[in-house]
Structure 1
Amino acid sequence: MSPENVFFLNFGLHSLAFGFLGWLILRCLIRDALRRSVTAMMAILFSVGGPWLVSSLTPWDEGSGTLALATLHQTLDTDWRIVIRPEITPAVSPDMAMHHVSKFVWRADRWMPELKWTLWSGVAALLLRHLWQTSRIVVWTRGLRKPVQEELESIPKALRGKPLAVFHHAGTPCVVGWFRPLIAVPASSFGTLTARQWHWLVRHEEEHLRGRDTLVSWLHECARAVLWWNPFVHALIESHARSREEICDAAAVGEAGENKDYAEFLLSWVRTSHPMAGVMPMAQSRPAQRLRGRLKALVEARPVRHRLGVNFVLACTAGAVVGPLLIASVGLVVPSASVAAQPIKSASTPGENSSLFTRTYTVSPNILSAPSNPANRVTPSEFLESKGVSFPENAMAIFQTDTSRLVVTNTLANLEKTRQVLTDASVIQPQVYFVTRFIQADRFFGIHGAVLDSQSAAALIANVSQKAGVDLLGVPRITTKMGQQAVVEVGHVNPANPEQRVGIRQELMSSKADDGKVFIETKYSLGLESGEALIPSKFSPPKDWSRVNMYTSHGKVELASGETLVQHLQVGGKQMTLLISAIALLPDGTEASHFDRVANVLWPVQVGKDIPYLPGAAPTEPKTAPKAPNKKVFLSVVVADVPGVSQLAANLSLEGKDKAELDRLLGVLDPHRIGQFWVTGVLTDAQFSLVMRALAQQQGVAVVALPASVENGKEAVFQLPQNLGGQSFAVTPGVWADGYSIDLNVVPPSLDLSSEKAVSSAVTIWSGQTLVLGGYLTEVKDQGRLIFVTATLIEETGKATK
């Protein structure tokens, strides 16, 4: 293959690599509009000019010996390029190997002209189209005129010196021109726009002028024409344009907080499309994604930085240096005849396979637990040996529970086998979602200790709810992990005797069982004052604790997902039937059919670099990540008063399974508890966004956001504003060693100010998930309050943990 063809292929490969790297950084790391615009611009520049820079960093000569694709190795200290040569066996001579290379080169050279012709044809067609649009804009710009005196008098005085131009046909205000750009407005705007709208319009377009966006857009179209085959360049150009529009929108609104009115002003222009393609209109309906992003940013009142910041500039500088060096490790080169004919060094030289290296794996904290009992852990060596990994002399394995890291010293072959074993074994176990109801009546229902399937339990509840003199009540729902105890408390505890209380306490312990089931142990405690025949709607502290009677019920059973345990409890002259259901819950908040490991939800096993093992030295933990006790949690609390709870799910416009799932999460507000808020479910990020959109569509909804950052194990207290009652509630996060699971101990607010502690729930969620609590505010059962608690792990740098 000729050097020209090699350079041609390398250019495309490197351009794709630069574009993908920039797109990935934008999608995963950058949120601010100003920083997104700068990052997108840098990525576009490197996608165009980076391949020439990379070609000067890498020896792409034929004698280098590199044949095909090279990739990154595990460490910067080794050669990243993988040398691929023709396989030479005793039956194949070097001359035959060279024949295979020549055959490959001959075939590649045959299809290279067609590939080049296709690429250059696309470039020529798009450049001609760009040139045609440019000429049309020049002609159209010459037809613009300056505003007359009467038109100037109709706009605010502060705007009369701005570079305004007028056109007479229907259209949207825009910026036009490259070296001396103007703000072009339709003649119909004069006398129809208010002073505030004129200020919005001019501030928006002046930000475009300040950023020279018309010239940048023209250059972007040139880059789009040259790199039309690179999808990442198209995405980067769109991301830059969207970021610039968000910056201009923020400049137009300023600090006045008129986002909603300004958004309606933009929408009024969307109906009038601009007739001239290539200009920068203030608002347009296409691409729709850009318009939706702008409106979403306005509704959410996203702040926009005025300066990039020193850390960001340093990061960009480092990326501009390191990025080309990384991408230079990827390329294509055809070896010369002398290089191709050289014998290949064997990978099995004497003593090489016996060398030991130390490698660190970040794994699930429960990976060493026995399937039937999470508390029964095996040693790391026993676990790996049971999976076929051998341990020669001086080989070892150490598991560090505080950081969930497995440090293994072994040969490279066994280390690679260990990685595969950990990947196969690191699957996520479903959480257990407990739903408890109790029937208060003159008789028991069902058989004590019986297990009902989902249909039988639903039929029993439907039958009971229609009977007179029967109360169907509920206990706060809760999620927990295998091997973790879940506790739900409602009421008040005797300060002198913690075992005595007025109210409800439920203890649930779950562990893995066989055949996709879960083994649960239940303990239900109920405290009532003497003479109370029914459970009150609110628990008040007793005047005399000696008059408090305690009633308890215990149970042990294996349940499949969706099955219900029946327990009986005699409470004075009343018979109480407890229905305890266990449901397998996946990380995305949906229900699973069994409690077996979720094979399609794999743990992201992270592999560290290999360190040569020195005899007599024990492996140590790399100091690359904070331990779980040192991590922080960002808590975002959103409180919403909903006048029509029953209409909320309807506003989501969902059908089938999705609607049933959201009904389960939002429609479980138990009406017998007024002013107390219980855990109703867990939402993923996508589900939470869906619910917030539904709240925004509903009239009369009051929404308040209360963010806070708290250290692991520390309590965060949130104070509701006075218009929502002014109560306070506490959230205490506990971070697991796995790096993404969080225990949330939640004490929600209560409208009953005399209640010492209305509800206390300990719930396990994944980082980024949202815990939902709900309750009714009044006897009118449709007036409810929803509390959303989102917990996200943040690193020492302040970035969210993915």
Structure 2
Amino acid sequence: MTLPFLVDCLGWTLLHFIWQGALVGSITALLLAALRNAGPMVRYNVACAGLLACVMWPAAELTLRLQGADMVTAQMRFADALFTGAGGSADGLSAFLQGQMLWIVGLWASCAAVLALRMGLGLLWIERSRAGHGTDARLQATVTRLAGGFGVSRKVLLRVVPELSSPQTAGWFRPVVLVPASLATGMPPDLLEALLAHEMAHIRRHDYIVNLMQHAVEIIFFYQPAVWWLSRRIRAEREQIADDLAARHTGSPRTLARALSELERFQFSSHHLAVGADGGELLARVKRLVRPDAQALNWTAVLPALGLAAACLGLYAHASTPQLANPQLAVLDQMPVALFDSCAKPQYPAADLAAGHTGTTRLGFEVDVHGKVVASRVNRTSGHAGLDAAAHRAIAKCSFIPGRAGGKPVQAWMEMQYVWTLN
């Protein structure tokens, strides 16, 4: 397995995720709109499933590409429709992207590395806060008591951090609650305990691990807005779940609502690698705790998602239709015959030649009553868009004796195979 082959497989997988992510995000948005009055746990699971689909779909495609499997699927036909010019011509975006694949993958890797470094610095800040700041005996006793009430068997530490503006929870095996010094000294004990109960709910649910996984997905697919939107929805629903658990434990939703209102006086923390009480829409959470109401359907948000999902599914369904299903094919008296004098040998694309790309492109193409190729479709890709594009160009130059049915010329589909080898 050569490096150019790996770059090619990874690059096309990343590009295809542009439409894959849009489709997954649109469908998830419609489901969440339909479930707007369901419990936050239901919406949380739906959003998590959407984000998981954003991981599994490109992962499956990359695996198939690396294995050299037959990519004759509705997905690949749909991708052809997006990355190939109109009328089956491949002289457009597809060939251009193939020539720039090394730069595309290089740019993606560079941006992902920067985001990964940022995540690493955030984790380092958390560890330094754990080791470099003191505790408060009274608050540590409260945290220990809350841990027992929530059924958390691990020891939970508390650290008072001067530069923080909201309580945060970090760590799984050794969880720690980071409390701003201003809150530790300035907030009434009952309100601060309500916020600490919220943090303990995060620890009880192992939300820190899920949050780290979200960051990893955001790093890999940073260019896809649907991934960021899904992550925001997951975090918002997660905060509501923690609110419910904390309110149930304290027995007073209004106390937690008052505590959350107090947080508005502080600047929101920028250390998002931890999970904390300032996540989600704070005012909406306060209103929900004090006076939960049924949510009306927001059509301005639903209609764009509905339109995008319908467009993607419609194109996908069209692409999945077998391209050789021509009812005239079974009654042909004579298949189209190629006039080989008109067919030139396809030119090996320079970029693919330099990269050492090989493979087999199997084309389905339609010959009209005048013997001209009017449409063509990749039935089996070579694994390289440049080679497939060259096959499209070659077949378009061929002329044929048209097929005949009942003694008359008819339009008919044929198939031809191009084998790309390096001498």
Q: Give the TM-score range, shorter chain.
A: 0.5 to 0.7
CA shift, 1:47, in A, is 0.4
2:293 corresponds to 1:270: no
Match for residue 230 of structure 2? 236
**3-state SS of 1:172 partner:** coil
Match for residue 288 of structure 2? 297
User: What is the CA deviation profile of residues 469-526 of structure 1, one whole-angstrom value per residue up to 9, with x for unaligned ones?
Assistant: xxxxxxxxxxxxxxxxxxxxxxxxxxxxxxxxxxxxxxxxxxxxxxxxxxxxxxxxxx
The amino acid that maps onto 1:240 is I
Alpha-carbon distance in 1 for matches of 2:144, 2:221? 46
Alpha-carbon distance in 2 for matches of 1:180, 1:51? 34
CA shift, 1:246, in A, is 0.8
Match of residue 21, structure 2, among 12, 15, 36? 15
2:76 corresponds to 1:53: no
2:20 corresponds to 1:28: no
2:118 corresponds to 1:125: no
**3-state SS of 1:34 partner:** helix
CA shift, 1:43, in A, is 1.1
CA shift, 1:244, in A, is 1.0
Alpha-carbon distance in 2 for matches of 1:135, 1:189? 23
Q: Check the 8 A contact 2:172/2:208 in 1, yes or no.
A: yes
Alpha-carbon distance in 2 for matches of 1:146, 1:224? 33
Q: Check the 8 A contact 2:202/2:208 in 1, yes or no.
A: yes
2:202 corresponds to 1:208: yes
Unmatched tracts of structure 1, length 5 or more: 72-80, 88-96, 304-323, 347-802
2:366 corresponds to 1:343: yes
CA shift, 1:237, in A, is 0.7
* Distance verdict in 2 for CA 1:336–1:190, change over 3 Å: closer
* Distance verdict in 2 for CA 1:60–1:202, change over 3 Å: same
**TM-score normalised by structure 2 residue count:** 0.56
User: What is the CA deviation profile of residues 632-687 of structure 1, one whole-angstrom value per residue up to 9, with x for unaligned ones?
Assistant: xxxxxxxxxxxxxxxxxxxxxxxxxxxxxxxxxxxxxxxxxxxxxxxxxxxxxxxx
Match of residue 222, structure 1, among 201, 216, 233? 216
Q: Check the 8 A contact 2:159/2:176 in 1, yes or no.
A: no
Match of residue 38, structure 1, among 24, 45, 57? 45
Alpha-carbon distance in 2 for matches of 1:20, 1:54? 20
**3-state SS of 2:281 partner:** helix
The amino acid that maps onto 1:229 is Y
Q: Check the 8 A contact 1:197/1:265 in 2, yes or no.
A: yes
The amino acid that maps onto 1:69 is F
* Distance verdict in 2 for CA 1:164–1:272, change over 3 Å: farther
Q: Check the 8 A contact 1:123/1:226 in 2, yes or no.
A: yes
CA shift, 1:152, in A, is 5.8
* Distance verdict in 2 for CA 1:269–1:50, change over 3 Å: same
The amino acid that maps onto 1:174 is Q
* Distance verdict in 2 for CA 1:253–1:129, change over 3 Å: same
* Distance verdict in 2 for CA 1:20–1:336, change over 3 Å: farther
Alpha-carbon distance in 2 for matches of 1:176, 1:13? 34
RCO comparison, higher one (Cα < 8 Å, 6+): 2
Q: Check the 8 A contact 2:211/2:275 in 1, yes or no.
A: no
Match for residue 247 of structure 1? 241
* Distance verdict in 2 for CA 1:299–1:11, change over 3 Å: same
**3-state SS of 1:69 partner:** helix
CA shift, 1:198, in A, is 4.6
The amino acid that maps onto 2:198 is H
CA shift, 1:199, in A, is 4.0
Match for residue 69 of structure 1? 78
Deviates more, 1:292-301 or 1:53-62: 53-62
Alpha-carbon distance in 1 for matches of 2:226, 2:64? 23
Say what the alpha-carbon RMSD is for the aligned residues.
4.5
Alpha-carbon distance in 2 for matches of 1:17, 1:265? 39
User: What is the CA deviation profile of residues 389-423 of structure 1, one whole-angstrom value per residue up to 9, with x for unaligned ones?
Assistant: xxxxxxxxxxxxxxxxxxxxxxxxxxxxxxxxxxx
User: What is the CA deviation profile of residues 683-719 of structure 1, one whole-angstrom value per residue up to 9, with x for unaligned ones?
Assistant: xxxxxxxxxxxxxxxxxxxxxxxxxxxxxxxxxxxxx
Match for residue 163 of structure 1? 156
Alpha-carbon distance in 1 for matches of 2:161, 2:95? 62
CA shift, 1:329, in A, is 8.7
Q: Check the 8 A contact 1:22/1:39 in 2, yes or no.
A: yes
**3-state SS of 1:301 partner:** coil
The amino acid that maps onto 1:44 is L
Identity of aligned residues (%): 21
Match of residue 183, structure 1, among 169, 173, 177? 177
Match for residue 335 of structure 2? none
CA shift, 1:222, in A, is 1.5
**TM-score normalised by structure 1 residue count:** 0.32
* Distance verdict in 2 for CA 1:60–1:184, change over 3 Å: same
Alpha-carbon distance in 1 for matches of 2:166, 2:75? 56
CA shift, 1:242, in A, is 0.7
The amino acid that maps onto 1:35 is V
Alpha-carbon distance in 2 for matches of 1:151, 1:60? 59
* Distance verdict in 2 for CA 1:282–1:268, change over 3 Å: farther
Alpha-carbon distance in 2 for matches of 1:156, 1:49? 38
Equivalent runs, 1:626-645 vs 2, <5 Å: none
* Distance verdict in 2 for CA 1:274–1:105, change over 3 Å: closer
Q: Check the 8 A contact 1:172/1:282 in 2, yes or no.
A: yes
Larger Rg: 1
Alpha-carbon distance in 2 for matches of 1:24, 1:199? 37
CA shift, 1:336, in A, is 6.0
* Distance verdict in 2 for CA 1:101–1:337, change over 3 Å: farther
Alpha-carbon distance in 2 for matches of 1:158, 1:7? 50
CA shift, 1:301, in A, is 3.1
Alpha-carbon distance in 2 for matches of 1:104, 1:139? 49
